[in-house]
Structure 1
Amino acid sequence: MQPFTTLTGTAAPLIRANVDTDLIIPKQFLTTLVRSGLGRHLFHELRYDPAGQELPDFLLNREPYRKATILLSGPNFGCGSSREHAPWALLDFGIRCVVAPSFADIFFNNCFSNGILPVSLPAESIAQLAAEEGPLTVDLSAQTVSGASCGFRFEIEPARKATLLEGMDEIKRSEANLADIEAYEARRRAEAPWLEVSQR
């Protein structure tokens, strides 16, 4: 997982409430277990007509938002099903940070597992960020999102912050504690050998 430290880039203002995971990545694209390639289907129903042609009025089909790395949105972002393909599609498109007033719990957790920073800010602050003409900067160490004329601090749990700064998913964090895990397993075998499953 790529570490997240400081991100400066274009912010796409998709300011709408209850953006669900089926809107982020529709169900017909969930047959793959490969993370790459899902970005072209991000917000598929908003980006394309029934014939698969781009809808020119949708913001991700316009410059400079084609290369957006930050997404600004409304409350309850990521609601709906628990599909992990939703953060995969965002990340494959290039989105590393989503800023919204609130997030669905499972989507919120999936973001951290995939290297995306979900930032909770009041709607009024997001509106000010959306009005910025230039790029935004997200500084995870300082816990700030800022533009040329405004800036806001966000809260994040220390453990989640460390996960992104270090670029360590749950598996990598477990592997970092492998010595402690092995020591525990050895002690447990010595103290309670009857718990061991026979290998014969």
Structure 2
Amino acid sequence: MNRQITRLQGITACLPFDNIDTDQIIPSREMKSTSKTDLAAGLFAGWRYVSAESRQCDPDFVLNQARCDGASILVSRSNFGCGSSREHAVWALREFGFRCIVAASFSQIFFRNCINNGILPVVLPAAAIGQIEALFAHDNSVLQLVVDLPEQAISPAGAASVWAFDIEASDKAALMTGRDPIAVTLESDSDIRAFIARDLERRPWIYSQARSGT
């Protein structure tokens, strides 16, 4: 799975609601394995389908509209990803094709799950979210946004408006290089081994207990 993000230009879909929780993102009935695959069909299943059994698409739901085909950027409001800590919600969003989620605020655990799975979570002020929603609603046309991670900016494709966003340096580096948490830890492998060697000299009994299982 490619986790790297630098500059993304993509079709945008808007869900203008607060407090979209992980059970709405992917209902528990759609989580039939611990795999990261075969989850996209369950994304927003309670909203996308007229009934879960028939899988008949609801034409009024935004992701079923032709203008959102291939959407890779999702815009919502405050407290996105709240509720349970299920990582399946992020896996389903990623498998569906989303690489960037823009919201006024996020659940902290959901935010971290996004970073760890190659999705850029962007926090923008409510006023900026409203401006994007207005662009999306205009003439029901396709909206493309450009997300520039190095510059930490979002703009409509071909337009002058720019919204700046903040991101922690470590999160930015992880996404720009495509490193997952394990890869980041392994970069410090020599330092970790050196610490263990020093600690073994200072506290050999700790390691004796670990080997003996006591």
Q: Normalising to structure 2: TM-score of the pair?
A: 0.89
Deviation sequence 1:87-108 (CA, Å, 0-9, x none): 1010000001010101111111
**AA of the residue aligned to 1:16:** F
Pick one of 164, 169, 174 that aligns with 1:163: 174
- Per the alignment, residue 139 of structure 2 pairs with none
Structure 1's 49 and 134: CA in aligned 2 closer, same or farther, altered over 3 A? closer
Unaligned runs of 5+ in 1: none
- Per the alignment, residue 33 of structure 1 pairs with 34
- Per the alignment, residue 154 of structure 2 pairs with 145
**AA of the residue aligned to 1:195:** I
Deviation sequence 1:57-91 (CA, Å, 0-9, x none): 11111112121000000111001000000110100
**AA of the residue aligned to 1:39:** A
Structure 1's 198 and 174: CA in aligned 2 closer, same or farther, altered over 3 A? closer
Q: Normalising to structure 1: TM-score of the pair?
A: 0.95
> Is 1:177 the equivalent of 2:188?
yes
Q: Give the C-alpha shift of residue 31 in structure 1.
A: 3.1
CA distance in 2, matches of 1:28, 1:80: 16
Q: Percent identity?
A: 44
Pick one of 152, 165, 170 that aligns with 1:154: 165
Pick one of 118, 121, 125 that aligns with 1:122: 125
**What secondary structure does 2:211 align onto?**
coil
**AA of the residue aligned to 2:174:** T
> Is 1:76 the equivalent of 2:79?
yes
CA distance in 2, matches of 1:30, 1:41: 8
> Is 1:21 the equivalent of 2:32?
no
